[in-house]
Amino acid sequence: MSDEARRAWNAVSEWYQRKVTISLEDVHYGPISPGERELHLLGDVSGRRVLELGCGGGQNSIVLSKWGAHVTGLDVSERQLDHARKLAEEEKVDVRFLHGSMEDLAPLARQRFDIVLSSHALQFVEDWGRVFREVNAVLNPEGLFVFAMSHPVLSSGRWTIMEGRKVFVLRDYFDDAPEIETWVGEAQEKIEIPLYHHTVQDTFDLLLESGFRVERIVEPMPYPLKEMSEEERRGMPYTAEEYERLKSDDLEEPGYELWKRLPYTMIFKARKTRSLGQDRG
């Protein structure tokens, strides 16, 4: 994972953890969308060895530990890992959190996992094929790889102003040049971070080339917020105020009406079918 991603997440970690509400009782796969309790992608994790890539503040890893899994969480951001360790201590669960990049899992080479999970972290990595090969190397035979990514339709668009109105414009879907976003850190410093876009076919083909069989592709619809009670909203696995706005006049943030029409998340469930040997190049 890039140095830019590390610097960016270290700079915004405290703000991000205040801004979002992430469940400690369900695995999340994306904003205002169903989690594992509804989607049933991981199966029974009790007693399973699970590796979470891009674990961030540790919420998913903590949930999996509560469900009986033996969990290792890996992240590039030291600040996010500080939050994760503190949260795990508060929740009284035993999770091993490690600092590192999903592009190099050599430090875990002597270990094998039953499940590798990642939620919205791949877009910060350029070489997805390398990540998939690294995952193959640490998975047991027939091991499960489940990852949620920014939907390629979403990642090929951007907000802009046209004739005084805020609109979401789709650029060239096949253009794989990274989108450069500017984040503002706690000290109000501006940080440019590349977000990488891959088409559905690219992702599917890379998985097959890396020794996986794709079992499911999920495009979860957001929750019907208008029909939900406050208690039901509080039970969403991942949310933040701006994602729940029915209409947004804030030029920096999306509105719910858009995400009812354009998918925010795509989830791949893949199974390891063959090993690739020791080559990690």
| pLDDT at residue 230, as a whole number | 86
Taking the C-alpha atoms of residue 147 and residue 196, their distance in angstroms, rounded to an integer, is 15
Range name among 3-12, 183-192, 214-223, 246-255 with the lowest pLDDT average: 246-255
Q: What is the mean pLDDT of the chain?
A: 88
**82 pLDDT exceeds 90?**
yes
Q: What is the pLDDT of residue 243?
A: 67
How many C-beta atoms lie closer than 10 Å to residue 68's C-beta?
Answer: 12
Entry pTM: 0.91
pLDDT at 37: 97
Longest Cα–Cα distance in the chain:
58
Q: Decide: helix, strand or coil at residue 48.
A: coil
Whether the predicted pLDDT of 196 surpasses 50 = yes
Q: What is the pLDDT of residue 118?
A: 98
Nearest to 201 by CA among 152, 148, 239, 158: 152
- In this prediction, residues 219-223 reach a mean pLDDT of 90
- The alpha carbon torsion through 202, 205, 210, 212 (nearest 10 deg) reads 120
Q: 101-155, pLDDT tens digit by residue?
A: 999 999 998 889 999 999 999 999 999 999 999 999 999 999 999 999 989 988 7
What are the backbone angles phi and psi of residue 11, rounded to the nearest 5°? Answer: -75, -35
Whole-angstrom Cα distance, residue 36 to residue 241? 22
The Cα–Cα gap between 28 and 16 comes to 16
**Residue 79: how many other CB atoms lie within 10 Å:** 19
State pLDDT tens for residues 159-180: 777 777 777 788 888 988 888 8
Lowest-pLDDT choice from 40-44, 239-243, 248-252 = 248-252
- Which helix (H) or strand (E) segment holds residue 257: the answer is helix 256-259
Q: Which of 257, 263, 256 is nearest to 218 (CA)?
A: 263
**Separation CA 78–CA 203 (nearest Å):** 28
Confidence check: pLDDT of 26 > 90: yes
What would the pLDDT profile of 85-105 be if each residue is shown by its tens digit?
Answer: 999 999 999 999 999 999 999
Q: How many whole angstroms separate alpha carbon 97 and alpha carbon 52?
A: 9
pLDDT per residue over 37-62, tens digit each?
999 999 999 999 999 999 999 999 99
Mean pLDDT value of segment 3-18: 89
Full set of structural domains in the chain with CATH: 3-150+198-244+266-272 (3.40.50.150)
Predicted local confidence at residue 279, as pLDDT: 46
Distance (Å, whole) CA 31 – CA 27: 12
